[in-house]
Amino acid sequence: MSIRRLPPELINRIAAGEVVERPASALKELVENSLDAGANQVTVRLYAGGLERIEVSDDGCGMAPEEMRLALERHATSKLPGDAIDRVTSFGFRGEALPSIASVSRLTLESRVRGADGWRIEVDHGEAAGEGPAALPPGTRIRIEGLFDKVPARRKFLRSPRAEYAACLDAVKRLAMARSDVGFTLDHDGRRILTLQPTEPPARVAELLTHELDRHGIGIDCTRDGLRLTGVISLPTFNRGVADQQYLFVNSRPVKDRLLVGALRAAYRDLIARDRHPIAALFVDVPLEEVDVNVHPAKTEVRFRDPAAVRGLIVGGLRHALNEESGRSAAREQAAAPVMWTSSADLPYRLREGTAEQSEAGVGLMYAHPLAPSREREGVNDVAEAQRLFTEAPAARAEPAVEPVPTYPLGVARGQVAATYIVAEAEDGLVIVDQHAAHERLVLERMRAAREGGAVARQALLIPEVVELDEPECDRLEGAADELAGMGLDLERFGPTAMLVRSVPAALGRTDVAALLADLAAEIAELGGPLSLRDKLDHVAATIACHGSVRAGRILSVAEMNALLREMEVTPRSGQCNHGRPTWVKLGHGEIEKLFGRK
Ligand SMILES: Nc1ncnc2c1ncn2[C@@H]1O[C@H](COP(=O)(O)OP(=O)(O)OP(=O)(O)O)[C@@H](O)[C@H]1O
Ligand SMILES: [Mg+2]
């Protein structure tokens, strides 16, 4: 076997495979170069998602003709004056991007240093293809055409122009967030997509993320041990099905680092369902010597000297902010949209028609007032009675308005709808609570508080209960017995296919122990993966909580409803259920007035 040195074109092409895998990554390299050149304005033009053509112009420092030739050579960079690769502040530092891109496309580089004439160099798939004078304002303009046209192996992996365009837009957004002091424009197929004036970071982030974050976002700013975290995250209830709106930066460099993504995820643990994702723009600033940016070909991952400190800062900082905001629920404003509320204006009319189902209309409405118990239970069975109910002069409230409404944030229970939702009157509006979602959350928080306080109240069963299960299920439960005991669930093996339960967490109240054990066994099987013990316990606690909570469909007494509301007010993170859905919504007086055209 003979060893040979590879020719430079081949080396460049191999590097291109790592540095530029699609139009968006070539575009990212070009914009980074413009930013490194001190540009105040970066102009991007794309055609067919960058597959046909990518053009980037800037008003940066420009290059003289001999610098342009060097720039296209491998490992030629102006960005490492010494050997201090551990202290780079520029986006680039390897001198790899331009020669790599030039080896897999037709590239035209035009540049002009202020006070000198402009020059143009063309390269066709790594071969010089001519040069000469060029007319352009001071700065640099680069055009890439036919990217990967002659590299079928790569071309195969490219997606549709739409998908490539989406990736390009994302790349520009990330860099625009990283450098809010620079103006950007982006055109696609001749259409203007973005115009961004130089501004401050929060304003830039707000411009590029959904405007909904004005109402559903939480601002972050915290410092710990010389590390700083700033930015904005969404309330847990304002989440997405894909993690496409998470922008992470380390020392102003956009990254897609696994450590940071994992920390973000961990901060939302149990506030959001496993398949939902928060929106976030987070900026981590660490001393230069704390981070190595030279670990990934496209520079999108970094290595921290002290990863635990960074993770701690993110999880701790976000968790704290989320706790402080826990009472807020994203659905509050959503629910205020009139479309979410069906108008009941035609209800009395339909009742007057007198058909069978219409009497049902009364059944769903249950009055909380203790003096109306019979109607509450039985519903309104006859049409005449329903008519009287709906055509009588309306009373202001289901419950007589004898006393002023005390100032509880979630108000006073006025009734229950569909045996599932509690309707309450607050000083500033109408509140609807999903009783199961809310109670599930409360049970989980109670269990967690108890666990963290080290004293889990357990309720011993007078007669220990024997639960029959499969052998593997028993094995799993037996294996987790210590952890479960830590949560107040004491069980032991009782033969090959049964478990004996001696106590249950007191937070649960009365519960179907057999169903709980079956669910736990399934949960433990599912969690078999690489989750931390703490994560597992939280999932298990959530499963237990689900069993302990009042179901939809259970009729609650007024006292029960009010007790639930009061506990929600003092429980952290009670604004959303364990799956990230809101537990309550509020319709403000102003919004009610709007619905009735009074405003
Ligand atoms: N838009 C630009 N304006 C001014 N100079 C530029 C511009 N683009 C590239 N250059 C010069 O060309 C050099 C090579 O650029 P290239 O992107 O290939 O490497 P780099 O930015 O130094 O490192 P990296 O490969 O990590 O991006 C840069 O160091 C810079 O001096
Ligand atoms: Mg570069």
Tokens at 103, concatenated: 């080896």
| Between residues 599 and 573, the one the model is more confident about | 573
Residue 7 identity (one-letter amino acid)? P
Query: By alpha-carbon position, which residue is closest to atom 1 of ligand 1?
Result: 34
Confidence of residue 387 (pLDDT cuts 50, 70, 90): very low
Q: How far is the C-alpha of 179 from the C-alpha of 90, rounded, in Å? A: 12
Q: How far is the C-alpha of 221 from the C-alpha of 89, rounded, in Å? A: 22
In DSSP notation, 502-532 reads EEEEGGG-S--HHHHHHHHHHHHHHTTTT--
Is residue 5 scored above 70 in pLDDT?
yes
Q: Which atom of ligand 1 is nearest to the CA of 19?
A: 25
- By most ligand atoms within 8 Å of CB, the mutation choice from 68, 77, 111, 141 for ligand 1 is 77
Is residue 94 scored above 60 in pLDDT?
yes
**29 C-beta closer than 6 A to ligand 1:** yes
Is residue 72 scored above 90 in pLDDT?
yes
Residue with tokens 């009055």: 367
Is residue 571 scored above 90 in pLDDT?
no
Signed CA dihedral, 35, 38, 40, 41: sign only: negative
Residues 6+ apart with CB under 8 A from 562: 412, 413
- By most ligand atoms within 8 Å of CB, the mutation choice from 12, 33, 123 for ligand 1 is 33
Q: How far is the C-alpha of 284 from the C-alpha of 169, rounded, in Å? A: 23
What is the CA(273)–ligand 1 centre distance, in A? 43
Read off the pLDDT of residues 186-223 as tens digits, 9 standing for 90 and up.
999 999 999 999 999 989 999 998 777 877 889 999 99
What is the CA(68)–ligand 1 centre distance, in A? 9
Is residue 491 scored above 80 in pLDDT?
yes
Among 138-142, 152-156, 452-456, 480-484, whose mean pLDDT is lowest? Answer: 452-456
Residue 397 identity (one-letter amino acid)? R
Signed CA dihedral, 305, 308, 309, 310: sign only: positive
| Between residues 380 and 552, the one the model is more confident about | 552
What's the Cα-to-Cα distance from 178 to each of 380, 480, 572, rounded to whole Å? 62, 46, 33
Read off the pLDDT of residues 544-556 as tens digits, 9 standing for 90 and up.
777 766 776 778 8
84-111 mean pLDDT: 88
Q: How far is the C-alpha of 206 from the C-alpha of 364, rounded, in Å? A: 43
**95 C-beta closer than 6 A to ligand 1:** yes
Q: Which atom of ligand 1 is nearest to the CA of 56?
A: 1
**DSSP state at residue 394:** P
Is residue 596 scored above 60 in pLDDT?
yes
- By most ligand atoms within 8 Å of CB, the mutation choice from 57, 70, 98 for ligand 1 is 98
Q: How far is the C-alpha of 413 from the C-alpha of 45, rounded, in Å? A: 58
Mean pLDDT over all residues of the chain?
80
Confidence of residue 396 (pLDDT cuts 50, 70, 90): very low
**58 C-beta closer than 6 A to ligand 1:** yes
**37 C-beta closer than 6 A to ligand 1:** yes
What is the CA(143)–ligand 2 centre distance, in A? 15
Burial class (CB in 10 A: 0-12, 13-18, 19+), 39: buried
Phi and psi angles of residue 512, each rounded to the nearest 5 degrees, phi first: -85, 95
Contact 524, 480 (CB under 8 A): yes
Ligand closest to the CA atom of residue 93: 1
Neighbours of 214 (CB within 10 A): 10
| Between residues 534 and 580, the one the model is more confident about | 580
Contact 385, 398 (CB under 8 A): no
Is residue 118 scored above 60 in pLDDT?
yes
Most confident of the following: 57-66, 83-92, 149-158: 57-66
**96 C-beta closer than 6 A to ligand 1:** yes
Q: How far is the C-alpha of 367 from the C-alpha of 413, rounded, in Å? A: 10
Query: By alpha-carbon position, which residue is closest to atom 9 of ligand 1?
Result: 33
**DSSP state at residue 7:** P
Burial class (CB in 10 A: 0-12, 13-18, 19+), 277: buried
Residues 6+ apart with CB under 8 A from 487: 447, 451, 456, 505, 537, 540, 541, 544
136-164 mean pLDDT: 90
Among 89-98, 392-401, 432-441, 541-550, whose mean pLDDT is lowest? Answer: 392-401
Confidence of residue 527 (pLDDT cuts 50, 70, 90): low
**140 C-beta closer than 6 A to ligand 1:** yes
What is the CA(89)–ligand 1 centre distance, in A? 14
**93 C-beta closer than 6 A to ligand 1:** yes
Secondary structure (3-state) at 435: helix
Burial class (CB in 10 A: 0-12, 13-18, 19+), 488: buried
Residue 14 identity (one-letter amino acid)? I
Query: By alpha-carbon position, which residue is closest to atom 14 of ligand 1?
Result: 71
Query: By alpha-carbon position, which residue is closest to atom 21 of ligand 1?
Result: 92
**DSSP state at residue 28:** H
Ligand closest to the CA atom of residue 35: 1
Residue 22: the pLDDT is 92
Query: Which has the closest alpha carbon to 447: 501, 477, 490, 487?
Result: 487
Residues 6+ apart with CB under 8 A from 528: none
Is residue 456 scored above 60 in pLDDT?
yes
Surrounding ion ligand 2 within 5 Å at CB are 33, 92, 97
Please report, in angstroms and rounded to a whole number, the separation of the first and last CA atoms in the chain: 86
Q: How far is the C-alpha of 446 from the C-alpha of 443, rounded, in Å? A: 5
Contact 417, 362 (CB under 8 A): no
Residue 112: the pLDDT is 97
Q: How many H-runs (helices) and E-runs (strands) does the chain carry? A: 22, 23
**77 C-beta closer than 6 A to ligand 1:** yes
Query: By alpha-carbon position, which residue is closest to atom 31 of ligand 1?
Result: 78
53-76 mean pLDDT: 94
**63 C-beta closer than 6 A to ligand 1:** yes
Q: What residue spans of 403-495 are helical by DSSP H?
A: 435-452, 471-479, 481-486
Is residue 16 scored above 80 in pLDDT?
no
Tokens at 217, concatenated: 């976002």
Contact 58, 110 (CB under 8 A): no
**12 C-beta closer than 6 A to ligand 1:** no
Signed CA dihedral, 11, 13, 18, 24: sign only: positive
Residue 138: the pLDDT is 97
Residue 236: the pLDDT is 87
**33 C-beta closer than 6 A to ligand 1:** yes
Tokens at 310, concatenated: 């960074």
What is the CA(154)–ligand 1 centre distance, in A? 24
- By most ligand atoms within 8 Å of CB, the mutation choice from 12, 36, 141 for ligand 1 is 36
Residue 514: the pLDDT is 84
What is the CA(595)–ligand 1 centre distance, in A? 59
Query: Which has the closest alpha carbon to 549: 534, 568, 525?
Result: 568
Query: Which has the closest alpha carbon to 578: 300, 365, 204, 274?
Result: 274
